[in-house]
Amino acid sequence: MNVTQDIKYIGVNDREVDLFEGQYNVPNGMAYNSYLIMDEKIAVVDTVDARFTEKWLLNLENELSGKSPDYLIVQHMEPDHSGSIKAFCDKYPETAVVANAKAFNMIKNFFGTDLSDRQIAVGENDTLNLGKHTLTFITAPMVHWPEVIMTYDSTDKVLFSADGFGKFGAFDCEEEWLDEARRYYIGIVGKYGVQVNAVLKKAASLDIKTICALHGPVLTGDLTPYLATYTKWATYEPEANGVLIAYTSIYGNTKKAALLLADEFTANGVKNEVYDLARCDIYEAVGKAFKYDKVVFATTTYNTDIFPKMRTFIEYLTARNFQNRTVAFIENGSWGPMATKVMKNMLESSKNLTVCENNVTVLSGVNEQTEIAIKNLANELSK
C-alpha cells in the first residue's frame, strides 16, 4: 500500500494475540505498522514484533525491488516494534541504524548486539536527508518509553508518530478510530499527559497532512479532530458531557441502584453509560471514565474495604492521573456501610475532583428512601 508516492506501508497484522502487552483485550487484533521511504537514500521506519519477522522482511523485500535500505529508523524500542531489529541488521549488514542514544543501550540489552559501527544517534530537531525527502526528528520521551522519537517528513508532510495516535485493532479492521484509540491511549499512555502535551505543542508548529502511527490506520484528511481529542486526553479534560456509572454488585442490589440512577439520567436527558466492573473489559470502563465529565462509583462494603473489582478500577484511574471530574458514590452495606469513605480516600490525591452532596447509601436492599436519594443524586448531576 502506498501512503504517498514514495512512502510505502510494510506493516503486519497480528490476529493471533490474545492480550496485547499481556493485559489488553484486542478482539480485532493488532497492527504493527512499519513504513518504507523510497528516495535516493532508502529509509525503513521501525520493525515489527518478532513473531512476524519473516512476513515483514518479505513485505520489505517486495517493495525494495532488489535495492537495499540505507537507514533503519528506530523510533521506539518496545518489542512490538523492535522485535525484528536483529534479524533486519543481520540481513542488511550495510544499513545504518538511526535512533535516539537511549535506544542503542536498549538494543544492546535486548539483543546483546553492539551496533557502534553502524549507529547514528539523533536528538531534537536533527535531520536526515534522503534526497527529495528531509526527515526531522522530534524527541517524545515517555510517549511512551524514554527513547521515543517521532519523525517528520517535510516533503510529503507526514508525521511518523510512533505509538502516538495509535489504536487497538488490525490495520484493515473496519471500526471507528475514537473508542479503540481512547482505550489504547488511556490504558497505555494515560499517565504521561504532561509529556504527550509537550509533543503536541511541538507538532502544532508543523504542517501535517498525514499521521503514520505504529498502530492503527494511517490518518489523513482533516486531522483536527484527532489532534483536538489528543489534547483533551493529554490535559485530562473531559471529551464529552455525560455520566459513567461503574458498579460492582454481589447479589444484585447495588446493580439495581445503579440501573435506577441510569434511568433517572435518561429521563433527565443526560447521556450515561453503565459498566459492571466484574464483567466488562475494565480498560474500556477506564477509558469511559476519562471520556465523561462525571463518574458515579457504586460498590459494596466488603471485608471492611470495598469490593475488589472496584478497588482495582479506582487504582487504574489514579495510576493514570484521573482528575478534573465530578464524582459521586453509591455504597451498599448490610451492617456497617463504609464504601464511600474508602473510595473517597482512594481518590484523595486526584486533582480537581468535585464530590456530589447527594451520595447514596443502600442498606442491603433498595427501598423507597433509597429511591428518593437516587433521584436527588440524579438531579444534582443533571444540572
> What residues line the site for ligand FEO (CB under 6 A)?
76, 78, 80-81, 144, 163, 214-215
Q: Which residue is nearest to ligand FEO (CB)?
A: 78
CB of 201 to ligand FEO, least distance (A): 21
Nearer to ligand FEO, 133 or 144 (CB): 144
How many helices (H) and strands (E) are present in the chain, helices listed first? 12, 22
Supply the DSSP symbol for 118. Answer: T
Given the complex with ligand FEO, which of 188 and 245 has the nearer CB atom? 188
* Cβ 287 to ligand FEO shortest distance, Å: 17
- Cβ neighbours of 57 (radius 10 Å): 18
d(CA 290, CA 230): 12
Shortest distance in whole angstroms from residue 136 CB to ligand FEO: 21
CA dist., res. 36 & res. 60, Å (int): 8
Q: How far apart are CA 76 and CA 72, in angstroms?
A: 12
User: Considering beta carbons, is residue 216 or 333 the nearer one to ligand FEO?
Assistant: 216
Residues contacting residue 171 through CB under 8 Å, at least 6 positions apart: 9, 11, 13, 31, 33, 216, 217
CB of 23 to ligand FEO, least distance (A): 13
Q: How far apart are CB 313 and ligand FEO at their closest, in Å?
A: 23
Compare residues 211 and 366 and give the one whose CB is closer to ligand FEO.
211
Rounded to the nearest whole angstrom, what is the least distance from the CB of residue 40 to ligand FEO in the complex?
30
* C-alpha distances out from residue 308 to 9, 90, 317, 320, 321, Å: 44, 49, 14, 19, 20
Looking up cell 504517498 gives 4
CA distance 276 to 248: 6
Cβ-based nearer residue to ligand FEO, 165 or 292? 165
Of 16 and 94, the one with the shorter C-beta distance to ligand FEO is 16
